[in-house]
Amino acid sequence: MANDMMVKELDQVVVRFSGDSGDGMQLAGNIFSTVSATVGNDISTFPDYPADIRAPQGSLTGVSGFQVHIGASKVFTPGDKCDVLVAMNAAALKTQYKFAKSTACIIIDTDCFQASDLQKAAFKTDNPIEEMGIKQDVIAAPISQMVKDCLAETGMDKKAMLKCRNMFALGLVCWLFNRDLKIAEDFLKEKFARKPEIAEANIKVIHAGYDYGHNTHASVAHTYKIESKIKTPGVYMDIMGNKATAYGFIAAAEKAGLKLFLGSYPITPATDVLHELSKHKSLGVVTVQCEDEISGCATAIGASFAGALAVTTTSGPGVCLKSEAMNLAVITELPLVVLDVQRGGPSTGLPTKSEQTDLLQALFGRNGESPMPVIAATSPTNCFDAAYAACKIALEHMTPVVLLTDGFVANGSGAWKLPNLDAYPEIKPQYVTPEMKDNYTPYKRNPENQVRYWAVPGQEGYTHILGGLEKDSNTGAISTDPENHNLMCHLRAEKVAKIAVPDVEVQGHADDADLLIVGFGGTYGHLYSAMEEMNKAGQKVALAHFSYINPLPKNAAEVLKKYKKVVVAEQNLGQFAGYLRMKVDNFTPYQFNEVKGQPFLVSELVAAFTEILNK
């Protein structure tokens, strides 16, 4: 690097890659995230996909974004606004500029700001920078032409060359933040292992972008570095929530000594779990892509009856369709994990956007009295632990369990320390005992926890029948007796209510807060960051964030009624607040509700919570 360029050390930075949905912004963002996580930075990412399957090229609705927050120490959100905005075309600049800080550096490909591009992006003049009133530093480079020049001797056609534009932008960003390109090279060689010529072209273009920044200083006064301050040693990887969920299922099956079976039907944004698990046949994982949602759930129930750890994956619309089969798992009392990766609704809604609007469906969206445990993952890396916990509850308590994640958590990623599975708790299903042989009935229960004993078909002396009709609690025969049905409804509910879950932890000013923030699931990072910001400003704020929804932690009522003011913040119109009012007597919280399909903004949370404090 030239001697006249200064290197400025930062604690954190936010970079947002944006362009047409065919411009490879997700790949560029993922590589930059991997490079950062590999050198020890903490990361939090947010891929922002367009809802259109394939919008017209250069259109405003077809813009795809990827935001990554990189920190020397722990970061909890992808950031409200970015320090660097990469806008690969005019539509990206038009739609994504609102995410840029007033001090941001903006990188644009001037070759994609021609008259036709400006027209598609609804610009009225031929100077979009001036028209939008952009005052920030702009690195305006003819990226497309430089990529074609770089690859001129490769024999690639023009269309293939331009698919490498994202790597030029990535190389420029890597120069800006003093990133070693070796990690990016290794990533590309692995991704395109079957097409080495594509890998080499992309690597060549990354270096061209890096060299462009190095040789021209790219109109900036500094380059930057972010040193790692993460204190826990170990092996880390950048992992997306869906992949972490899949790994959690595999780990639980191995711990329980069972085969893992996934019955699924593809649906955005849950399909990646099916894709990931299908890669692991060598670990005994069986995946079946079914013809519809109910068969995906029904095949999993069949696998559970046969003695496997059974999982079915979907999103909100698929939960609607699976509900009849989920109730079959309730009445047969078979272990099953139902993963619901929540997305914007109702109906098809916003398939690529994120909400928390399936909570009441998970709790009550079935006919009859059909209690199910419900767990919510709090971050992309927490998806592993949440999936493991859901499997443990399902197997040890003979019940279907709903695991809630959401599009933000599932598609986002974080720096994940590879776990030591020896440190994870045992998973011990409640199998039949030898003493029950030839005297077994399917609803014979452990009197302490009401869990029925599990007999796997094929065990001599344990022949039994399960099905969707109500059964006699003693004999297992079909029963329409009113007293028996009343008893079975109570037994199924008591079994779920008796499941031991960890107490909810209060963070921040746990003893003397003037305001308690309450949330659940994937909003944890934003709510925690809002609490931290308010406490740094001298206010007294605490946070109680729930992962276990049903049953609620035993200390939930005590915590919620301890503070003068409580606000429940969620990405729906008040489902969790309503559920808590139902469960906790005389609980009247304030509410903060948004249903935008986007993560919370910490700045908006702080403003809203401060207003509540001042009331």
CA angle 521/496/272 to nearest 5° reads 40
Q: Please name the fold of domain 237-423.
A: Rossmann fold (3.40.50)
Residue 320: partners with Cβ closer than 8 Å, 6 or more residues away: 361, 365
Give CA–CA dist 32/415, Å, rounded.
12
Distance CA 328, CA 134 (A): 58
Q: Which of 40-54, 250-264, 404-418 has the lowest mean pLDDT?
A: 40-54
User: What are 444-492's pLDDT values in tens digits?
Assistant: 999 999 999 999 999 999 999 999 999 999 999 999 999 999 999 999 9
- Percent of the chain scoring above 90 in pLDDT: 89
Mind listing the pLDDT tens digit for each residue in 357-396? Answer: 999 999 999 999 999 999 999 999 999 999 999 999 999 9
For 498-551, write each residue's pLDDT tens digit.
999 999 999 999 999 999 999 999 999 999 999 999 999 999 999 999 999 999
Contacts of 481 (CB under 8 A, 6+ apart): 472
Q: Is the pLDDT of residue 3 over 70?
A: no
Cα gap 199→585, rounded to integer Å = 61
Instruction: Collect all residues with Cβ–Cβ distance below 8 Å to 400 and sequence separation of at least 6.
Output: 326, 329, 330, 334, 335, 336, 337, 338, 372, 394
> Which of 296, 286, 288, 394 is CA-nearest to residue 337?
394
∠ CA(474), CA(480), CA(486), 5° rounding?
A: 70
The pair of three-digit structure tokens given for residue 154, joined into one six-digit string: 């490769």
pLDDT the model gives residue 605:
98
DSSP letter, residue 357? T
* pTM, entire model: 0.92
Alpha helices in 498-542 (DSSP H): 524-536
181: alpha, beta or left? (left if phi > 0; alpha if psi -120 to 50): alpha
**What is the total residue count of the chain?**
615
Highest CATH level, class, for 6-225 = alpha beta
Q: What is the pLDDT of residues 236-259, one digit of tens each?
A: 888 999 999 999 999 999 999 999
- 30 pLDDT higher than 70: yes
Mean pLDDT, the chain, rounded, equals 94
pLDDT score recorded for residue 5: 58
pLDDT 10s digits, 377-387:
999 999 999 99
Q: What is the pLDDT of residue 2?
A: 41
Q: How far apart are CA 87 and CA 558, in angstroms?
A: 49
Is residue 231 pLDDT above 70, yes or no? Answer: no
**CA 106 to each of CA 87, 110, 137, 173, 299: distance values in angstroms, whole numbers, following the listed order:** 7, 12, 6, 11, 51
89-133 tens-digit pLDDT: 999 999 999 999 999 999 999 999 999 999 999 999 999 999 999
Instruction: Kindly tell me the burial class for residue 566, based on how many C-beta atoms sit within 10 Å of its own C-beta (0-12, 13-18, 19 or more).
Output: buried
Nearest residue to 499 (alpha-carbon basis) of 389, 378, 383 = 389
- Structure token digits, residue 609: 């919570």
pLDDT digits (tens, 9 = 90+) for 281-310: 999 999 999 999 999 999 999 999 999 999
Q: At what angle do helices 241-256 and 382-397 cross, to 10 degrees?
A: 40
Q: Which residues of 174-201 are buried (b: 16+ CB within 10 A; e: fewer)?
A: bbbbebebebbbebbeeebeeeeebbbb
Q: What angle do CA 392, 394, 400 make, to 5 degrees?
A: 155
List of E strands, 294-419: 309-314, 336-342, 374-376, 400-406, 413-417
Handedness of CA 588, 594, 599, 602 (dihedral sign): negative
Asked whether the domain spanning 506-614 has the same topology as the one spanning 237-423, the reply is yes
Residue type, 502: P
Q: Hey, where are the domains in the chain?
A: 6-225, 237-423, 430-500, 506-614
* pLDDT computed for residue 232 by the predictor: 76
Give tens-digit pLDDT for 4-18: 556 778 789 999 999
Instruction: Give the per-residue pLDDT at 219.
Output: 54
CATH code for residues 506-614: 3.40.50.920
